C-alpha cells in the first residue's frame, strides 16, 4: 500500500454564521461590519488540475 494515495489536512475552516468582522488597520479598503448572512462556498479546480480555488460568498452589513 506504499503507492496508495493519501490526503493530508491543509487547513481547518470554522463556519462563520454571525458576529462582527473588522479589517486590520493596515488593510485597504477598511472593513468594519456585522456578518448577517451566510452564502455559498465552492471549490473549483483549474483546467490544468494544478490549483484549487475557493470562492466564498457572505453578507456583511
Domain spans, the chain: 19-60
Question: Dmax of the chain from CA atoms?
Answer: 51
Give yes or no for a contact between 32 and 24, defined as CB atoms under 8 angstroms apart: no
Give yes or no for a contact between 16 and 38, defined as CB atoms under 8 angstroms apart: yes
The 10s digit of each residue's pLDDT in 22-44 is 888 888 888 898 888 777 778 88
pLDDT at 59 > cutoff 80: yes
pTM of the model: 0.44
Distance, CA of 21 to CA of 40 (rounded, Å): 18
Q: How many CB atoms lie within 10 A of CB 35?
A: 15
Amino acid at each position: 500500500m506504499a503507492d496508495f494515495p493519501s490526503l493530508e489536512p491543509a487547513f481547518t475552516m470554522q463556519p462563520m454564521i454571525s458576529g462582527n468582522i473588522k479589517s486590520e488597520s493596515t488593510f485597504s479598503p477598511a472593513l468594519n461590519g456585522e456578518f448577517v448572512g451566510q452564502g455559498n462556498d465552492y471549490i473549483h479546480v483549474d483546467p490544468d488540475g494544478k490549483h484549487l480555488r475557493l470562492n466564498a460568498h457572505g453578507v456583511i452589513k
